[in-house]
Amino acid sequence: DVQMTQSLSYLAASPGESVSISCKASKSISNYLAWYQQKPGEAYKLLIYSGSTLQSGTPSRFSGSGSGTDFTLTIRSLEPEDFGLYYCQQYYEKPWTFGGGTKLELK
């Protein structure tokens, strides 16, 4: 199975700052990577797919980069509603697997 590693479990930042969340695959997955956001009491929300393509409705302050094994989700100028949990997921091969998650907290 492809192991997905999000090296940071927690990340503290303040509104207006920019942050980057990393995700590393145990083998090359090309750009078959998605990013999700979860906020308390809400359904998971797809932010980005194909490594860097914004899902409809995702604010432009979000961006995704990377290919192969190393990927990054960047949020520029954090808004209060951006604090929550972020997960990456590979869909290069079955079983589709997720990273362990990064909790973005208010500093």
Partner 1 sequence: EVQLVESGGGLVQPGRSLKLSCLASGFTFSNYGMNWIRQAPGKGLEWVASISSSSSYIYYADTVKGRFTISRDNAKNTLYLQMTSLRSEDTALYYCAKGPRRGYYFDYWGQGVMVTVSS
**Residues in contact with partner 1 by the rule CB under 8 A:** 32, 34, 36, 43-46, 49-50, 55, 87, 89, 91, 94-101
CB of 106 to partner 1, least distance (A): 22
**What count of residues does the chain have?**
107
Nearer to partner 1, 34 or 75 (CB): 34
Cα→Cα distances 38→2, 17, 28, Å: 22, 20, 26
For residues 78 and 24, give the distance between their C-alpha atoms in angstroms, rounded to a whole number: 23
Residue 95: CB atoms within 10 A of its CB come to: 7
CB of 1 to partner 1, least distance (A): 9
CB of 62 to partner 1, least distance (A): 15
